[in-house]
Structure 1
């Protein structure tokens, strides 16, 4: 096994031109990483992209006519790490309940200095951390000054870490609310919050309209079958609505004073359920990478109602996946697969 050093990193990553290090779900599950580390890694990926040093092409999508499955493929290059990666995602059973669905996602990383593979890994944990970290960064940059209350809609994978990440970037939040319909999901949200912030608890709300009217920040992470649909007229001045999954009605986008998207191109691909009666989406006022870099403003006034669209950028998966690869390889995790022998 040879050792190669990825440019811009202090860590050495083993790689071999005839074998590939495969990191499983269980390999990655045991790796300890702080929320602040995740946020910093994701933020760095945005800054590199805003500086023009990374490449994040529009994702490719395949979906059958009956909508029972959806597949994505994303290619990107991280210019600070000199890493190229391909991410694939496949979900089957969209017409069924959550327990009957199948979901597989994988990330393959290559060192663009040596031309050798770094690792192939399950990308489930990467996505479960990356997405709420992006929402937390959106909240930090786009919430009104003095924001004190947050409402999370949904208790699935993305909802369970939404509040801990929000508290990481907006620590002054003093009212945490949750709207969910699955008891086991509500329990999981509470457990995650307690694990990271043992002195905090979440208020379970059943009156969604009243909760939305009180929230400075709303993060909608629910699944497609959610009964939740927050309307624009429910929001107070200065509210920030972040869409990750479902839970916001199209009016929150079309009547927003300002629209921010991690990627306008990806919003046009994956945000079609938010289109108006004629199938149109409003123009995006700014994408998020230049906001992170201080080039454009996330918010222009305290009274603006802002809609933020959080779609995954593969450069953030690459950055966080590479960080996990470093930690995993330092611990000797994974299996060497002679894929090209």
Structure 2
């Protein structure tokens, strides 16, 4: 079917699962999205959120424009059963892209793989920019979706890391972390640790990706003097933020909306020193002195989903993947 203004390429979970994309390609795509945003050529409005009073579900809607790719997109996310175990939850996320040069639709896709790659790529960029010189040991907390690719992405941006530690309690998740590391970096291994406090003290970089029900909570006084902590999900106590010497966020506005569990007794969060787009643009440096502890907050920006989703759409189109739907006829 010829592409026109009535047809839309729909990319399913299975379509996207078959696409081969390197970790370096993902990191470069995400980094370029941040740089374009920092240059003022992209738009990333604040997300909209709806949640019922009893908290059993949450839904988000995000609109953005990538000025480098000339693509406009909307992303939606809906999770039901927040108080249930992970296997009883329902989660759907979609991304719909439009070419802002031709005015034609590009694709609508399941956004789960985009998110599963984008988030650890952002953590890896934060680690690269925030870690102290000579950082050699990384600790990963959590073995869920966001944890399983965290170490391969960290090694992509910080190849000098020579010791990898893992704190996780689910055997299948631990096995998945090992498998992903072996797939991307054959010969590298990760040590599963039982004493989180000791592991945190030894780590130069701590990436916390655990789920909401975790009992792990690294405290500030467990950390070394130059440590970098990166929060994606859970696994860090609020003290790591409040006692940090420098605070970095992908977006301060989003941190103040989604990071309320880190607030102090007065409900306050400390100011953010830098946002990641400005850091990547070269406008500012994270570390201003030796011995600084850095806290970084990783929350998604839709411009990164747009860039990576568009990259997937390009790869899919080249391989003839997806289903053309006459949606507007």
TM-score class, shorter: over 0.9
1:38 alignment counterpart: 26
| Cross-structure match for 1:124 | 112
SS at match of 1:218: strand
* Residue 204 (1) aligns with residue 222 (2): no
How many angstroms apart in 1 are the aligned matches of 2:259 and 2:227? 20
- Residue 95 of structure 1 corresponds to 83
**Corresponding position of 1:168:** 156
* CA distance, structure 1, for counterparts of residue 38 and residue 187 of structure 2: 37
Pick from 194, 207, 211: which aligns with 2:182? 194
Pairs aligned (count): 329
Partner of residue 16, structure 2? 28
Using the alignment, how far apart are the partners of 2:171 and 2:160 within structure 1? Answer: 28
In structure 1, C-alpha distance between the alignment counterparts of 2:162 and 2:309, rounded to whole Å: 32
Q: Deviations over 1:49-72 (max 9, x none)?
A: 000000001111111222221111
Query: Is 1:157 matched up with 2:145?
Result: yes
Cα deviations across residues 147-175 of structure 1 (Å, max 9, x unaligned)?
Answer: 00000000000000000000000001011
Shift in Å at residue 339 of structure 1? 1.1
Deviation digits for residues 288-307 of structure 1, max 9, x if unmatched? 10100100112222311000
Paired position in structure 2 for 1:307: 295
Give the match for residue 323 of structure 1: 311
- Stretches of 4+ aligned residues off by more than 4 angstroms: none
Q: Where in structure 2 are there 5+ consecutive unaligned residues?
A: none
Cα distance in 2 for residues equivalent to 1:92 and 1:220: 23
1:148 aligns with 2:118: no
Contact 1:19 1:340 in 2 (8 A): yes
**Alpha-carbon separation, structure 1, partners of 2:193 and 2:177:** 13
Q: Deviations over 1:174-215 (max 9, x none)?
A: 110010111100000000000000110000011111101110
1:338 counterpart residue number = 326
CA RMSD of aligned residues (A): 0.8
Q: Distance in 2 between matches of 1:66 and 1:153?
A: 29
Q: Give the distance between the partners of 2:50 and 2:195, measured in 1 at CA.
A: 37
Q: Is the 8 A contact 1:275 1:281 kept in 2?
A: yes
In structure 2, the residue matched to 1:235 is 223
Q: Deviations over 1:290-326 (max 9, x none)?
A: 1001001122223110000000000000000000000
Specify every segment of 5 or more residues in structure 1 that has no aligned partner in the other structure, as ranges: 3-14
Q: Is the 8 A contact 1:145 1:302 kept in 2?
A: no
Q: Which moved more, 1:148-157 or 1:56-65?
A: 56-65
State the TM-score, normalized to the length of structure 2.
0.99
TM value normalised by structure 1: 0.95
Task: Say if 2:54 is the partner of 1:81.
Answer: no
Matched position secondary structure for 1:247: coil
